[in-house]
């Protein structure tokens, strides 16, 4: 099933999982997926380490394929194009196609330290056009409620986002954010720019302070005062921090659903316990 069709019927709930770093630990992700299945997500997406070579591609492919065929849940395979030649991209796409995967999150990928690697794609819109001209995948793109870290302004970023839609993306998933007002302003600007596709809100429940500090550096997201206060108060009490993080995410999600969001994409961090607690709190609202 093409995941873009899901939004016609309901508020979508989807999850993200990642392949474990150690290849000998890959089975642990299947325990996670089995637990997530009990929450009846509309789809599960699988990340792909940019520049990770063949092993990364294999892991994403195997997990996305198992989610679809063994667990009976629609899957989305992420595909960053940075450093890829067109021939390499085509070879990976052929493998996704052979595995029966119908949905691709087409990304550029993060710039590695030390400059731009050689490859045939400068930006995600080029990958999207490349795929659209040759394949029948449903194409999803990433978006950034507070602007991408490299963009000169949110408006310039939205201009580039429109190129991804014009190239063939049919739905968007947002980067995480902790202040819903940024997301609402972003939605308004997207609609004004003529972007009418469904936009899922990316929500990351906070489990520890280190993880957030990494995210802030990497993604440049704003931490609201009440969020920072929560982190300071519970930083030395992991269980309290986890519970506070769940409560914060639930609060964000309830507000987003009340405002009519198209969907919620939960960055599960491969932690089904947290996903289940959030699901318990919000599933009747979807």
What's the min distance (Å) between Cβ of 9 and ligand FAD?
22
Choose between 241 and 266: whose C-beta lies nearer to ligand FAD.
266
What's the min distance (Å) between Cβ of 77 and ligand FAD?
9
Of 61, 64, 173, 190, the residue at the interface with ligand FAD (CB under 6 A) is 173
Please tell me whether residue 250 adopts helix, strand or coil conformation.
helix
**Distance separating alpha carbons of residues 135 and 138, to the nearest angstrom:** 9
162 touches ligand FAD (CB under 6 A): no
14 touches ligand FAD (CB under 6 A): no
16 in catalytic set: yes
150 touches ligand FAD (CB under 6 A): yes
Choose between 173 and 230: whose C-beta lies nearer to ligand FAD.
173
Of 29, 36, 44, 50, the residue at the interface with ligand FAD (CB under 6 A) is 50
Choose between 108 and 277: whose C-beta lies nearer to ligand FAD.
108
108 touches ligand FAD (CB under 6 A): yes
93 touches ligand FAD (CB under 6 A): no
47 touches ligand FAD (CB under 6 A): yes
**Distance separating alpha carbons of residues 208 and 270, to the nearest angstrom:** 14
What's the min distance (Å) between Cβ of 218 and ligand FAD?
8
157 touches ligand FAD (CB under 6 A): yes
Q: Which residues in 180-219 contact ligand FAD (CB under 6 A)?
A: 202
Which residues would be at the binding site for ligand FAD (CB under 6 A)? Answer: 47-48, 50, 78, 80, 105, 107-110, 123-125, 142, 148, 150-151, 157, 160, 164, 173, 175, 202
Which are the catalytic amino acids? 16
């Amino acid at each position: 099933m093409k995941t873009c069709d899901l939004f016609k019927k309901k508020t979508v709930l989807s999850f993200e999982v990642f392949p474990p770093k150690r290849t000998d630990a890959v089975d642990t992700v299947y325990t996670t997926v089995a637990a997530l299945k009990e929450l009846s997500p509309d789809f599960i997406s699988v990340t792909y380490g940019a520049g990770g070579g063949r092993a990364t591609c294999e892991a994403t492919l195997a997990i996305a394929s198992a989610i679809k065929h063994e667990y009976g849940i629609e899957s989305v395979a992420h595909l960053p194009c940075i450093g890829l030649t067109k021939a390499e991209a085509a070879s990976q796409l052929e493998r996704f196609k052979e595995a029966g995967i119908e949905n691709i999150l087409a990304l550029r990928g993060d710039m590695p330290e030390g400059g731009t690697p050689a490859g045939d794609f400068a930006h995600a819109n080029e990958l999207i056009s490349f795929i659209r001209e040759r394949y029948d995948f449903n194409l999803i793109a990433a978006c950034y409620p507070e602007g991408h870290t490299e963009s000169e302004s949110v408006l310039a970023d939205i201009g580039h986002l429109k190129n991804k839609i014009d190239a063939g993306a049919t739905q968007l998933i947002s980067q995480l954010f902790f202040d819903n007002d940024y997301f609402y302003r972003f939605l308004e600007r997207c609609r004004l720019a003529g972007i009418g596709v469904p936009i899922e809100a990316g929500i990351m429940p906070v489990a520890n302070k280190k993880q957030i500090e990494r995210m802030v550096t990497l993604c440049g997201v704003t931490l609201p005062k009440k969020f920072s206060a929560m982190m300071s108060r519970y930083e030395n009490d992991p269980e309290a921090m986890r519970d506070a993080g769940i409560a914060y995410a639930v609060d964000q999600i309830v507000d987003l659903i009340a405002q009519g969001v198209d969907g919620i994409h939960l960055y599960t961090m491969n932690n089904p316990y947290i996903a289940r607690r959030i699901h318990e709190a919000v599933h009747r609202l979807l």
